[in-house]
Amino acid sequence: MGRRERKVRFFLTVCALASGSLLIGRSIQIIRRDHFSGGKAILGKAYEQAGKMAFTVLTPYLGFDQEETAGGWLDELFLAVKEQIPTLALDEEKEQAERLEEDEETSAAIIKENEQVLQEETKRENQLQAEKEENRDDISETEKEDDDAGQGSETAQTEPAVAVIKKEEISVEQLQDYHQLLNQFFVVDQNTSALPSQINADSLLGRDMTLEKQEDQPQILIYHTHSQEEYADSIEGDESTTVIGVGDYLEQILTEQYGYQVIHVKDTFDMVDGYLERSKAYNYAEPVISGILEENPSVEVVIDLHRDGVDENKHLVTEINGKQTAKIMFFNGLCRTNKNGDIDSLPNPYIEDNLAFSFQLEYLAKQYYPDFTRCIYLKGYRYNLHLKPRSLLLEVGAQTNTVEEAKNAMEPFADLLNKVLQGREW
């Protein structure tokens, strides 16, 4: 309850008591004038009403513990007053926004993307399109030869449709300059800052993210803090057309094509009593996912799969292996804001590991699928990335993408993830 609200409630209480006093004074005047007969009736009614009002008004304060009250006459009266005084509602909304700042939907910050990065990305897209046009005949001929060689082979049909040859080469030597590395791979939210010690190519690529595959124990966990996020052609009530369905397809690819054991959690952390409520979704998800990790200590990779929210005229799509594919973006929390510095209440001992995991995926993506990823977006809070060193928040397309485009993105992403976990690139 805000300070302004408490003041208004106190004011209403004083008004109620003052009204009772006025009624009693008026009754006394009538007693003196009418010799008690009329005053007695009014005084009796005033006494009864004042007693009820005083009890109703004063009772909530007896058990007030700085939490919201359960409702009642005073709450209804306060709501009526608040409708007449808009500043009260604005004050309440401001306090709520400050309270829930950590849990605000990640897409709200992502819309503020760096204009310079977008311009560079557009330039790169134009260059890639020109290359595609130039090499289309060669690619078509190669695909035809592959199809002829694979006819009648069931194994060929189950192989992931992903590229196996690098399209670009990015040497570590090219990434030694902090500012160049930051501009090429990252977008930093205006409310936080990235330190040169964190954005260091040798350190990011030097951390060991490899994983020895175990066929009999789960090693990868997929979940969705915002389980209700949908796409342009999602069907209401059909979770297979939401981010959960995209997670199902990622699980299938990782299991059937790469041999990993996967746990897919489909809990609806952003639904409360049947209503969409994302303000505390990260808080609701943390104990559930932590409990699952305690029960399954073999899990080393945790992926929180989302979809972004962008302007309606923006379509995050590229073409990979002949398929329209949603672009993806990695998202990291630094547990630090420009205003308050390090956030001690949100500790994350794995910030450097989280960054290295995202960067190694992004580094390979720019070489194998140059137009597939958007950037690594850095923001100030934590987003439950403290649960494991290999924790990842993945944005798959946006509300303007189709379900098919989002699912197509899981094929190259799974390829990149396997490359990093197997450590075959550096």
pLDDT (tens digit, 9 = 90+) per residue, 93-130? 444 444 444 444 444 444 444 444 444 554 455 455 44
Measured between its terminal Cα atoms, the distance across the chain in Å is: 55
The total of other beta-carbon atoms located within 10 Å of residue 154's CB is 7
User: Which residue carries 């990252």 as its tokens?
Assistant: 186
Q: How far is CA 313 from CA 115, 309, 398, in A?
A: 16, 11, 11
How far is 216 from 280, CA to CA, in rounded Å? 35
- Sign for the CA dihedral angle at 210, 213, 219, 223 comes to positive
| β-pairing verdict for 390-398 and 328-333 | antiparallel
User: What's residue 101's pLDDT?
Assistant: 45
The residues near 187 (Cβ < 8 Å, ≥ 6 apart) are: 113, 114, 117, 375, 376, 377, 378
How far is 275 from 399, CA to CA, in rounded Å? 20
User: What's residue 372's pLDDT?
Assistant: 98
Strand ranges (DSSP E) for 252-380?
A: 262-264, 271-272, 275-276, 301-308, 317-320, 323-326, 328-333, 336-337, 341-342, 373-379
Higher pLDDT, 255 or 10: 255
E strand or H helix that includes residue 146: helix 115-150
Asked if 246 contacts 406 with a C-beta cutoff of 8 angstroms, the reply is yes
* Maximum mean pLDDT: which of 43-47, 155-159, 327-331: 327-331
Q: How confident is the model at residue 420 (pLDDT cuts 50, 70, 90)?
A: very high
What is the average per-residue pLDDT within 323-344? 96
How far is 140 from 171, CA to CA, in rounded Å? 29
Q: How confident is the model at residue 253 (pLDDT cuts 50, 70, 90)?
A: very high
How far is 414 from 408, CA to CA, in rounded Å? 11
* pTM of the model as a whole: 0.66
Asked if 107 contacts 23 with a C-beta cutoff of 8 angstroms, the reply is no
Q: How confident is the model at residue 48 (pLDDT cuts 50, 70, 90)?
A: low
Two structure tokens written together for 386? 């403290």
Q: How confident is the model at residue 42 (pLDDT cuts 50, 70, 90)?
A: low
At 255-307, the pLDDT tens digits run 999 999 999 999 999 999 999 999 999 999 999 999 999 999 999 999 999 99
pLDDT over threshold 80, residue 221: yes
User: What's residue 200's pLDDT?
Assistant: 96
Q: How far is CA 22 from CA 15, 27, 33, 46, 50, in A?
A: 10, 9, 17, 9, 10
122-152: b or e for each residue (b if 16 or more CB lie within 10 Å)? eeeeeebeeeeeeeeeeeeeeeeeeeeeeee
Q: How far is CA 228 from CA 235, 238, 375, in A?
A: 11, 10, 24
Instruction: Give the three-state DSSP class for 336.
Output: strand
pLDDT over threshold 60, residue 51: no
pLDDT over threshold 90, residue 140: no
- 73-84 vs 3-34: helix axis angle to the nearest 10? 110
